[in-house]
Amino acid sequence: AAKLMPELSRRRFLSGGASLGALTLLTGCEVSDSVSAENLLIHVSKFNDKVQAALFNPNALAPTYPESAIKRPFPFNAYYTLDDAPEIDARDWELEVVGLVEHKKSWKLEELYALPQETQITRHICVEGWSAIGSWTGARLSEFLKRVGADTRAKYIWFRCAEGYTTSIDMQTALHPQTQMTFKFDGEILPKAYGYPMKVRIPTRLGFKN
């Protein structure tokens, strides 16, 4: 796009990168005005959602690998150091389910363990530029959603983790057969470094969505 721009615009575009400066240029809106900036970002975000929904094939599986491909030790990556990873006591941990679901009950870890489980060996890809193959065992999120009577016409599922991290995924992704409520890493109970007592493993999405 930069090639097609007049000289001055090009310089402003390139120096602004994908920043708010570039957004100002492209839209003519004053991004210091937070309402128009937010409106713009909402439009961009909706556009992104449509593109990704159009590209996502709900039947295509992420590649799986043999046991020999598993990376040991698996990289640790979080917004804190390993020492600051939350120390969760399963006895007072609960998964609270709210929103467009029939059964708004909270789940204890033991109840979640009773769901049918399977193992996947898939590649975890982080947007920061590293990837690693791991083995994860757990229940299909789609099965859980069935059991809680989730209204799968809802567009998104939002997660809040024990230490405060939040993220959301679209319903197509949530229902994908490889999207897993994971309890084990490499055959062992998930250590705190990888999200004890449970993480949601999504091999069709980048690491930060997990």
**Shortest approach of ligand MTE to residue 164 CB, angstroms?**
8
Which single residue brings its beta carbon nearest to ligand MTE? 207
Shortest distance, CB of residue 28 to ligand MTE, whole angstroms? 34
208 and 127 in contact (C-beta within 8 Å)? yes
- Does residue 93 bind ligand MTE (CB under 6 A)? no
Could you tell me what percentage of the chain is helix, strand and coil, using 3-state DSSP and rounding each to the nearest 5? 35, 20, 40
Q: Of 4-12, 22-30, 143-151, 194-202, which part binds ligand MTE (CB under 6 A)?
A: 194-202
Kindly list the residues in this chain that would bind Mo ion in the complex (CB under 5 A): 126, 207-208
DSSP element (H, E) containing 107 = strand 106-107
* Residue 166 binding: pick among Mo ion, ligand MTE, none (C-beta 5-8 Å cut-off by kind): none
Angstrom distance (rounded) from CA 152 to CA 162: 25
Please tell me whether residue 78 binds ligand MTE under the rule CB under 6 A.
Answer: yes
Among Mo ion, ligand MTE, none, partner that 161 touches (CB below 5 to 8 angstroms by kind): ligand MTE
195 binds ligand MTE (CB under 6 A): yes
Q: CA 99, CA 84: separation in Å to the nearest integer? A: 30
Closest to Mo ion by CB, 113 vs 165, is 165
Nearer to ligand MTE, 36 or 119 (CB): 119
Name which of residues 143 to 182 contact ligand MTE (CB under 6 A): 161, 163, 165
- Do 187 and 196 contact (CB within 8 A), yes or no? no
Angstrom distance (rounded) from CA 189 to CA 97: 23
Helical spans, DSSP H, in 66-150: 109-113, 141-147
